[in-house]
Structure 1
Amino acid sequence: MRSPRSVPAGRGAHRAAALAFAAVLHVAAAAGAAPALSPAASRANLYVAPGGSDSSPGTAEQPFATLERARAAVRSLRSSGLPEGGVTVWLRGGVYERSSTFSLGPADSGTAESPITYRAYPGETVRLLGGKVLPPSSWSVVLSSDARWARIGAAGRGHVFKVSLAALGIRDFGAYATRGGAWGQNSPDATFAAELFLDGLPQTVARFPNAGASGRGIKGGQLVSSGGSIDTVTWSGGSLPGSLDAAIARGEAYCTGVPNGYSGLTARIVRKSGGTLTIRRDDGQGFYYPFAANNPFFVQNVLEELDSPGEYWLDTTSGELYYWPPAALTAREAVVSVMTTPLVTFDGASHVTLDGLVLEAGRSDLVRVTRGAYDVVKGCALRNAGRTAVRIGAGTSNNGVLGGEIAHPGDHGVYLDGSGNYVRNADIHHTTRLAVNQYWPAVYLFGDGNRVANNAIHDGQDQAVWLHGSNHVVEKNEIYGMNWYSNESGAVYANQRLGHGTGNVIQHNYIHDIQNWWAVHGVGVADNAGIFLDDSWSDATVQGNVIRNVTHYGIHHGGGARAGARVIVQDNIIESCGNQYPLPSKGAYVAANLPGPNPTGAMFRRNLIGLNNAGGRAWEGVDGWADLIVPHFADYSGNVGNYYQGGVNGVDPRWVDPRDPRKGLQPTSPAWSIPGWQPIPFQEIGIRR
């Protein structure tokens, strides 16, 4: 297979591009020569295939081999004026192993009338791979003659295989390093150790305890802490096993865990004493929070713990990779991530679309937009990013993700800054795979006027959406299974300094089944919300949402302590949550002695409180009933099924199908009796095919 390489746009390249232009216009005019997706014959079509040649003219019969060669041809077309309808670069199916970033700049831009599209050929799978496929023949079973045989436990002997990444031409193996420790603000350019994937799924770094294990002091594959300090954590189950000692002595072992409900970390272990681990950041800085009791953690990167199928261990000095495959490798595809820069960057390019591609297995972001407008990642599958799948930065506008799938990113699914940017109709799942809980959401919103709409966001370790900034819209998403290792948070979470963050709208979302690790395993206190307005967030409209089966609160309003505060909560259905709507006084929930008047501009009206969990209350002041600020609201009228104090079970919303609220309410629902009630567009929630 050819490796993509750069092709200079010199005289020969310009001549080849001119020939390509003439050829593709001829091909596009021929009946059936271009795919059905191609528009009018005036559009230019270029072709790339793994078996092509960069000395070819780039036609369907004689395609280019690399994206870089196609880019050079597009630049040549652009220099003489883009054709009406633009240019489509058709990528034929196959694996394109990348060793460098495919960069798109101003010279690669289209226009609104003549956009540039890099598109998968219909019916074929096009994979841009930021890693290397490991041939089945490169693996060998580990024998007693291996230098590390003694470190492999009895359970793994005969099952563990080995491959030399260096022998396959890989020179940079990365390194394990600190992640997080406070709010997870690792540099976007930081990368970590190479990872192993089998048939598109992340494999597990050898660890104690095994994923999913349970026992004394172990819940759901996590050690349960009994407490700690700013740089120690103690296991509640007694002394930790001696199998960890060698890795700790070598400086290889890392602790990954959640010191408290809103701060996660991965840090090097420097000492073990009984059941207590001492941890250090690799950069020498301190941690923000001590390890509290009843929080989860585990130990990883320990060869001695390579004792179950799917686990691996990588020597980041020599590149030797040890692996216990879950099945014979002869018919499986093993991939190791290699690239430490994004697969694709848009730096000043505009009106460019990636359409129907698979981008996967890089150690950095998969797609990064730093400058430009009207760039779209459309219908793509973005899998196994080491960092963020799609990062759209400040200073950009009207760029977005449209459709497709985002799966198993190490950090965010999508990071949206700038203005007018969006993610719509995407299936985003299993996010924050490596960052654990660092307030590291599936979709991170900054900037002004960005939009998150009609997505399915599910099965992630942290929030679905986190809002900073102003005038964002989060609407018509289905959100479930999020916040697994997150406490004192929400599936949709807003956090900003007092007085910032205006004009945001959270509406018509279906948020359900938010049950975190603490709740499921009955450890400590589970504190999550469907929607959480935190840190004196003082301006938002929360309307027409359906929130069901959330561990703690349906909606948590933790803000409003300023004159003119405008938080409007209306026309929501909140059902089967621990408590429905707790309200701290004057923002003091997050900032002691915070000055400010009561939020007389806030409203809680026309909400339906559904069948509540036993013991839950519709209204609650966090510090007791004395701090209840509802009486100071501008409007708290028209709510059904709630009152201020005491337990309440609410009312039956009377769904058409209680298993799926998206089928709507029965005509006899009490919602219809609420004066001014605004119907929820149930059929418009979630991915729109």
Structure 2
Amino acid sequence: MKNQTLQLAVLTTSLAVFSVMAASYYVGPGGRDDQVGSIEAPFATLERARDAVRAAKTDGVAGPHDVVLLPGRYSLSASFKLGAADAGTASAPVVYRAAEAGTARLLGSTAIPAAAFQPVTDAAVLALLEPAAAAKVLVADLAALGFPAQKEIIARAGGGTTELPELFCNEERMQLARWPDTDWAEVETIIDGGAVPRTGKATASEHPGGIFQYKEDRPARWSVERGIWLRGYWCFDWSESVIKASMLDSAQKRIGLSAPHTYGLRQGNPSPRRWYALNLLEELTRPGEFYVDAAANKLYFWPPADLATARVSLTTNKGALIELDGADDVWLQGLLLEEAGSGISVQNSSRVRIEGCTVRNMHHLGIELRGGREHEVRSCDVHDTGTGGISLFAGDYKTLTRGDSLIENCHIWRFAVHKLTYSNGITLAGVGNTARHNLLHDAPHMAVGGGGNDNIFEYNIVRHVCLAADDSGAYYKGRNPARRGNIVRYNFWHSIGKPMGHGVAAVYFDDGDGGDAVIGNLFFRCGDPGKGSFGTVFSHGGHDLLADNNIFIECKRPLGSSPWNDKRWRDAMNSKLYQDRLTKEVDIRVPPYTTHYPALVGYFDEKLKEPRVSPARRNLLVMCAEPKSGNWQLDDSNWITEEDPGFVDINGGDFNFKADAAVFKHIPGFEPLPLAKMGLYVDRWRRQVEREEWTLPPPRPLPPLKQLRAAARGPVAPKGNAPVFGATRIAAAPRIDGVVDEAEWGGLPAAGAMVLAHHYDGTAVPANRQSRAWLRYDDQALYVLVRSSIDPATSLSGNTWGSDDAVELAVRPLPAAGAALAPAAQRPLISVVRAYGNGFLWFGMTPDAADDPLNQEPAPCAFAASRPAPGEWVAELAIPFSKIDLAAGQPGRCAFNITVRKAKDDLWVMWESTRGHSFNADAAGILEWK
């Protein structure tokens, strides 16, 4: 009896301790906040449950604390916020979870009842609709339903996220009425490039974003007064934005833009400039489209489903559904979050776990974690978001303190609905973080933003991204050599990019980036070299990268690079941008950077005799067109073959190796890739994983890349009888706008022009097809004006060298008169500028006329074209001396040539005949400075 009494006492004490240690609360759609929060009498709101947890903690209940959301919809008109008062501890977290994963739905939208939608009776509106649509489109008076006044679309021309209405039907996003219904319209001609904020170019025009001409008749139906918003790639195919129209001239088929795009309105990439219009009542032409009349607060909608059974909802909560700030040790499990500004925002918190959640149909990000350490996002589905999937920043750059945070086993797709560029599926920033076993797919631009230190991207599958952007990479990082030590390993990449002109990569290190490694990846049909030096793994201006033990299958150029010459490297490192990033934001000259990254010791020192290269070893290149470009160094451990190297089933997509595969003979030490571990896996939250059926066509050997090359020969000194031309100094830079103002150019006397009268073979060009150029300069730049006579039937719509009309400048700095030429390997490169009649500007560099110039970013060069008469076109250019290896203020003499390509006449009109490549400045003349 005494023993039983003792046991009872121990049990009672244990239960009492447990009751003090833990607490559970329930929330349900049918609950009330004046109830106790039990499963039988749940709370109605998350805020009430949060307050109950706070009270329990005040009463000494240490936790863990468990808030359980019963199945149903929870409408959140504002963010559910958790702060320091709501934090748990590492041993006793505060958990907010669904009773059953996916059944507790948190929504930031408000439902619109079916009865609110009525047939359109307003005659003015019916007149704008197409007859087929007039009978189908319904209207709802949002004001009568109690919705706040709808705001006009907030367009951010500089590339920020456009704020626009979001309508859903049965959990699917509806489309703002647009034209064309799918794909893009193309700019016919750029009439006025407008202002260029990036370069500081201003304009006094009432259409500061510029003016372009379109082709079709459809825009004649639209009205600027009702509002026209245009989404477009206005300069580069890696930077789109929405801009409101300020003018529509249907007679001339011209549209003016009310605000300038960051890079202006110009032909920055080879492909045509493209655009579409949105939120136009006149273009509400098919099921699933809608239009919001902000002034009248009315919604026009063509339902794609029977409204009697459909749920139609409009996003009203423009913030995050759940916000954590300073709330450590909070776990979110099994929740479904949808139809809001964003899903989950975590700031200044640590050890936050987000597990088994679905985040969908957000205007902005799905999940963001910024600050703190040891976060985990596991087994979540994030899709149909506006500006990205999951963004993680943890750790400290100055001290290189690790964030030790994780994104794992997440499925992320369609994550760039509203901002088509730089809306990453995963942003992996900070120090010492990892993203692994994820599946990312279906996006117009990049999948992963990789800026950070010592981060690892591993065991992921990335496919079908970079489908509508140029000069892009599925994994991208750049413009900061301090961000290094990152590893991209054991990932499967396929179906990346499509040909658009400039080039696309699977892994892209940009603008001097270095110190990272790409190891053990499988690349299948990834990337496109475009017209330049792009490769599947690509480096622009960087070095000290490593490519090891990778497999490339049917990749046009597996390894690409566009290296910077010594001057451009020095200029970049000495620029304010890089000095700020490398010596102020962090300081790479001192520990911990010099101790953690020994390669940074002496990073700013001159290394003129040390090549900046990146090694590639033990890579397998199967059926590829060309192994590499630029400064990748492939040693004998790499194997290039057009045969099956021993895959289990090369045609069926099984890229594991047979035991006797030839690769092991040709590449000693080659390690088979862990293909079975790549991608999603089954766990507590992800109950099943359906492996995708391999339906891609079998690989086949690619033909060599098309390259036009002169007979190989080394660089030569300028010929002894080379003509000399003197550029004229001017006091103020001319405006580069395509409008010739003689006063801006200091007068344009015929006697002071450079006459372009020679064909490339030395024969004379007819007088009516000659061109003239005027060259001016100041301390910062060379300015060139070229007037060219052309056949009036000439079209200036293209931008392919040789096929379309263009002006080409070729410049190579020379030593002072009488000084000896440097050895060939140490001479400055030839800079080549090509300015096309359609407004496209191209820049490249080459060591000599034996190699085509390698494509480079043309900025900060400026260019504008115009056609003042059917038989003439004009090019105005500004070329900074720093871009062409000349000293500001005191430029030295140069080997120089100007060529005008006149395609319809099949003429190469030159200042001086080169009898070969037009960019062979050494075989042309000499430019001096008056």
Give runs of aligned pairs for residues 453-472 of structure 1, distance below 5 A. 453-472=436-455
User: How far does residue 124 in structure 1 lie from its aligned partner after superposition?
Assistant: 6.1
Within the alignment, does 1:223 sit opposite 2:185 as a pair? yes
Other-structure match for 1:434: 418
- Tell me the equivalent position of 2:677: 684
Q: Return closer, same or farther for 1:434/1:590 CA change in 2, 3 Å cut-off.
A: farther
In 1, the alpha carbon distance for the partners of 2:651 and 2:411 equals: 21
Counterpart in the other structure of 1:201 = 172
CA distance in 2, matches of 1:671, 1:75: 62
Whether 2:276 is the aligned partner of 1:276: answer no
Aligned to 1:11: none
Task: Pick closer, same or farther for the CA change 1:235–1:546 going to 2, 3 Å.
Answer: farther
- Per-residue CA deviations over 1:338-359 (Å, capped at 9, x if unaligned) read 1122111110001111111111
1:657-683 per-residue CA deviation (whole Å, 9 max, x = no partner) reads 336656622224333231221231111
Q: Distance in 2 between matches of 1:236 and 1:207?
A: 16
Q: Determine if contact 1:655/1:666 at 8 Å carries over to the other structure.
A: yes
Q: Is the 8 A contact 1:258 1:485 kept in 2?
A: no
Contact 2:230–2:245 under 8 Å retained in 1 = yes
Deviations 1:526-575 (A, max 9, x none): 621111111111110100111111241553332465xxx53111010111
In the TM superposition, what are the counterparts of 1:128-527 in structure 2 within 5 Å?
Answer: 128-143=106-121, 145=122, 148-179=125-156, 181=158, 184-185=159-160, 192-211=163-182, 221-228=183-190, 229-230=193-194, 231-232=209-210, 234=212, 237-244=215-222, 246=223, 248-257=224-233, 259-273=235-249, 274-281=252-259, 287-292=262-267, 294-362=272-340, 364-393=341-370, 395-419=371-395, 420=403, 421-437=405-421, 439-497=422-480, 499-516=481-498, 519=499, 524-525=500-501, 527=503
Name the counterpart of 1:572.
550
- Judged with a 3 Å threshold, the aligned counterparts in structure 2 of structure 1 residues 370 and 652 are, in CA distance, closer, same or farther, namely same
Instruction: Report the number of matched residues.
Output: 600
Q: Distance in 2 between matches of 1:590 and 1:95?
A: 58
Deviation for aligned residue 1:117? 1.0
User: Does structure 1 residue 536 correspond to structure 2 residue 512?
Assistant: yes
Q: In the TM superposition, what is the alpha-carbon distance from 1:485 to its structure 2 partner?
A: 2.1
2: CA distance between counterparts of 1:300 and 1:310?
14
Distance in 1 (CA, whole Å) between partners of 2:568 and 2:142 is: 49
1: CA distance, partners of 2:101 / 2:373: 32
Q: Residues of 1 paired with 2:322 and 2:366: CA distance?
A: 11
Aligned residue for 1:638? 637
Distance in 1 between the 2:508 and 2:486 partners? 13
Tell me the residue number matched to 1:6: none
Q: C-alpha distance in 2, partners of 1:618/1:124?
A: 48
Letter of the aligned partner of 1:494 in structure 2? K
Counterpart in 2 of 1:62?
Answer: 41
Structure 2 residue matching 1:168: 3-state secondary structure: coil
Cα 1:240/1:287, change in 2 over 3 Å: farther
Instruction: Please tell me whether the aligned partners of residues 508 and 539 of structure 2 are also in contact (alpha carbons under 8 angstroms).
Output: yes
Check conservation: 1:606, 1:638, Cα contact below 8 A: yes
Q: Which structure 1 residue ranges, 5 or more long, are not aligned?
A: 1-25, 30-38, 212-220, 622-628, 642-648
Report the CA distance shift for 1:226/1:40 in structure 2 as closer, same or farther (over 3 A). farther
- Alpha-carbon distance in structure 2 between the residues aligned to 1:425 and 1:268: 40
Equivalent position amino acid for 2:672 in 1 = P
> Take 1:40 and 1:569, find their aligned partners in 2: how far apart are those partners?
57
Shift of 1:304: 0.4
User: Structure 1 stretch 171-180 or stretch 51-60: which is displaced more?
Assistant: 171-180
> Do the aligned partners of residues 62 and 654 (structure 1) sit closer, same or farther apart at CA in structure 2, a change above 3 Å counting?
same
Q: Check 1:502–1:360 CA distance in 2 against 1; reply closer, same or farther (3 A cut).
A: same
Structure 2 gap ranges (5+): 1-11, 195-208, 396-402, 530-534, 574-606, 683-930
State how far apart, in whole Å, the 1-side matches of 2:79 and 2:236 are.
Answer: 38
Determine whether 1:605 maps to 2:617: yes
Q: Could you say what secondary structure the match of 1:512 adopts? A: strand
Report the AA paired with residue 178 of structure 2: R
- Counterparts in 2 of 1:95-114, with a 5 A limit? 95-114=73-92
- Greater relative contact order (Cα < 8 A, sep 6+): 1
Task: Name the residue aligned to 2:741.
Answer: none
SS across alignment from 2:308: helix
**CA–CA distance in 2 between the matches of 1:185 and 1:253?**
15
Cα contact 1:535–1:591 (8 A) shared by 2: no
Counterpart of 2:381 in structure 1: which amino acid? E
Q: 1:268 to 1:664 in 2, by over 3 A?
A: same
SS in structure 1 of the partner of residue 313 of structure 2: strand
How far off its partner does 1:484 sit? Answer: 2.0
Q: Please, what TM-score do these two structures have when normalized by structure 1?
A: 0.82
SS in structure 1 of the partner of residue 221 of structure 2: helix
Name the structure 2 match of 1:656. 648
Secondary structure at 1:278 match in 2: strand
1:216 counterpart residue number? none
Q: TM-score, normalised by structure 2?
A: 0.61
Q: Is the contact made by 2:186 and 2:275 (CA closer than 8 Å) also made in structure 1?
A: yes
Change (3 A) 1:266 1:253: closer
1: CA distance between counterparts of 2:435 and 2:516? 15
Distance (whole Å) between structure 2 residues aligned to residue 139 and residue 252 of structure 1? 25
Cα pair distance change 1:124/1:473, threshold 3 Å: closer
Letter in 2 for 1:322: Y
Tell me if structure 2 keeps the 8 A contact 1:466–1:495: no
Give the direction of change, closer, same or farther, for the CA distance of 1:95–1:588 in structure 2 (3 Å limit): farther
Q: Identify the residue that residue 34 of structure 1 maps to in structure 2.
A: none
Q: Distance in 2 between matches of 1:142 and 1:656?
A: 62
- Separation in structure 2 between the aligned mates of residue 571 and residue 403 of structure 1, nearest angstrom: 29
Which has the larger displacement, 305-314 or 132-141? 132-141
Identity over aligned residues, as a percent? 27
Q: What amino acid is aligned across from residue 491 of structure 2 in structure 1?
A: N
**Greater Cα shift, 485-494 or 593-602:** 593-602
Greater radius of gyration (CA): 2
CA contact (8 A) 1:559 1:587 kept: no
Residue 214 of structure 1 corresponds to which residue in structure 2? none
The amino acid of 2:155's aligned partner reads T
1:398/1:138 Cα in 2 relative to 1: closer, same or farther (>3 Å)? same
Root mean square deviation, CA, Å: 2.8
Give the deviation of 1:43 after TM superposition: 4.1
